[in-house]
Amino acid sequence: MRTDLKDKFDSIIFDLDGTLWNSTANVATAWQRAKQEVGYVKEDITREVVQSITGMAYDAIFDKLVPYLTADQRKEFQALCAKYELEILNTKGGDLYPDLVSTLKYLHERYPLFIVSNCQCGYIETFLTLNKLEYLFKGHQCYGTKSQPKFQNILDVVHDFDLKNPVYVGDTQGDYDSATKAGVPIIFAEYGFGKTNGEPIARIQHFKQMMELL
């Protein structure tokens, strides 16, 4: 574990799915409900299916999942998935990674914290409200706000909050690519959903290791 990163950064930007929590089981339940309602989606939506596309831009997820649908069908299915997803997550939420809250509290005392995710509007708010974590984060941005790529959302947070030396924490190759394109170093969460062939400044196997790093 590296020990030379303390006091190197002025802020931390987190990915959400696969980094702070795992909501794939309940998201799969919501999307399966949408699938049964529309009647024209062929495949069942399982937790494994959801996990395989987690981290992609929300629109791109449905382009990949149901490429055989017409544009109107895909739009309808996506809207139902989004609706039922927020409904179920607002009550059942997702699984927080071990030691998440205590580690975030430790980091909050030392850095402004942010979230940038490729999710729909309302998803980050659900995570924060359900787990009573709003006070720990200074701001957030998501794909659903402007339908723009993650690297641009990272840049928006950097600009809007005048961050000078932020670090990003994520768990997929897409996170690595987005942070790199935004010019922000990344700590890679190996306990999450993906792998990277890049060279992050550090890797963590457990969220609690953020306290050792920073």
Question: pLDDT digit string (tens) for 155-193?
Answer: 999 999 999 999 999 999 999 999 999 999 999 999 999
Measure Cα distances from 63 to 67, 69, 107, 171, 175 in Å.
5, 9, 37, 22, 20
pLDDT score for 2 = 74
Domains in the chain, CATH or no CATH each: 11-22+96-213 (3.40.50.1000), 24-92 (1.10.150)
pLDDT score for 1 = 66
Amino acid at 26: N
Q: Can you list the pairs that 96-102 forms with residues at least 24 positions away whose Cβ atoms lie under 8 Å?
A: 96/20, 96/21, 96/131, 97/19, 97/20, 97/21, 97/22, 97/191, 97/206, 97/207, 98/206, 98/207, 98/208, 99/206, 99/207, 99/208, 100/20, 100/21, 100/207, 101/131, 101/133, 102/208
Angle at 126 between CA 73 and CA 161, to 5 degrees: 105
Q: Are 16 and 127 spatial neighbours (Cβ–Cβ below 8 Å)?
A: yes
pLDDT score for 56 = 83
pLDDT score for 54 = 82
Q: Are 213 and 187 spatial neighbours (Cβ–Cβ below 8 Å)?
A: yes
Q: How far apart are the first and last CA of the chain?
A: 11
- pTM (global) more than 0.75: yes
pLDDT tens sequence across 169-179: 999 999 999 99
pLDDT score for 57 = 80
Residue 17 DSSP symbol: B
pLDDT score for 83 = 94
Q: Which of 11, 31, 13, 35 is nearest to 23 (CA)?
A: 31
Residues of the chain with confidence (pLDDT) below 70: 1, 3
